[in-house]
Structure 1
Amino acid sequence: MRQIVNNFSAETTFSEKEYKAFIDSKFKLFLEKKLGTELMLISFVFVIFAVLMFGSSVTTVSWIFRILFIAGAIAVFLLREKIINAMKNLVIKKSVESAKDLGTQLNYGFADDNFTIVVDNKHSVVEYSSVRNVSESSDHFVVWCSEDTGFVVDKNGFTFGEVSEFGKFIAEKTGNEIVTV
């Protein structure tokens, strides 16, 4: 049996901070653009309704509705960032409230061919080729294998290897650029 030599090792205790890092990364990589597009479509629908109403009879009520539809379109367009952030914060709050894995200790080992995750004495091996995205914040890296499966690595939890070198290492091994969150 071949001995696995890790280039980097890290420990992460899953807490509210890690949930926030996970959700922030997920929104940035997978949901922000999609939600922004959906909000733009809603704005567009408001404008279409307002334009279609120009063909109807001119009454005070119809003008009020036109103004409301146009104001709604402008509001959704201008407030889309705040709407997305409010949705993200709600998801974080609900996730933490229903979390069953708070306090779970995750141990990562990053070798040349793959990385391992040890949770409650259960080992999982992940090939770098299955990594879809990698994000980095000031405190964490999140290594994504799918939209729903991401591994949060606390920068303060590195027990072997330099945090400053890890970003280059994981980008090279996965072939993915690191997205800053």
Structure 2
Amino acid sequence: FDSYIRIIHKIGQKAPQASICGDVIVGFPGETDAAFQRTLDVMSAVKFDNLNTFAYSPRPNTEAALWKNQIPDDIKSERLQIVQRLAAEHALERSERYCDRDDVEVLVEDRNPRNVGQVMGRTRQGRQVFFDGEYDDLKGRLVKVKIEGARPWSLEGRIM
């Protein structure tokens, strides 16, 4: 745990804009309350930009599916909700570091499917950005965007 956190902090010192992503599976057979808390502790220490979260489900013909110390579904569901809430809080915190910056480079990838007048692109760190623009004029271009709003896994802005 400590060596992992040290590595993550070194990355943050050397590359402050680095995007740290991970995966969490809750409810693996034998997961104790203490082990689950340790997962939350790691999440709080790292503050992942993006975290893929899953509840363990037994797979046929695997050893873990046969273990007797399976975690009940209601506990897995509760733990998953806790992890997802914390992941969203951290992702929002990480998104907010972009707010009010007017030098964010965004590669335009597509139209915003929810807003016909907007395009969608990604920062160099992989964060989605939505802003007004004509897709046919901007597709495939790297543009500078001023970030005016943050959500857990995306940003809103305007082209500079």
TM-score, normalized by the shorter chain, greater than 0.5: no
| Structure with greater strand share of residues | 2
| Structure with greater helix share of residues | 1
Q: TM-score, normalised to structure 1's length?
A: 0.29
Rg: which structure is higher?
1
* Higher RCO, 1 vs 2 (CA within 8 Å, ≥6 residues apart): 1
